[in-house]
Amino acid sequence: MDDSIQIHCSRCKSSFRDRARRIRSGYTRECPRCNVLIFFESESHEDNIKRALKAADKMRRLLAEAEGAKPAAKPASTYIRTS
């Protein structure tokens, strides 16, 4: 299964691909055409960034299911028993 995600540069409007395992919040990639730095942050206002992060997250889940690994669960909340 191909694990690459298509990314659209907001400056030069070109498209390129990068691996879904790399694309996470905090990742930085240089556009191969115009050399502008693209910052992947979940709080970004650019739709291209949000779309790439969402697609990468979905691809990572599919890859984890294909490998037979259970996706990481959210940690349970802790509480104190009073009895």
Q: Is residue 61 part of a domain?
A: yes
Q: Is 10 helix (H, G, I), strand (E, B) or coil?
A: coil
Query: pLDDT tens digits for 9-68?
Result: 999 999 999 999 999 999 999 999 999 999 999 999 999 999 999 999 999 999 988 888
* Range(s) of the domain holding residue 36: 4-67
pLDDT at 53: 95
Q: How many domains does the chain have?
A: 1
pTM score, whole prediction: 0.75
- Number of other CB atoms surrounding residue 48 within 10 Å: 16
Alpha-carbon distances of 28 from 5, 16, 24, rounded to whole Å? 14, 14, 9
Strand partners, 4: 19
Comparing 32 with 74, the larger pLDDT belongs to: 32
Q: Is residue 83 part of a domain?
A: no
- The answer to whether 62 touches 12, Cβ cutoff 8 Å, is no
Q: Is residue 81 part of a domain?
A: no
H helical segments located in the chain? 47-67
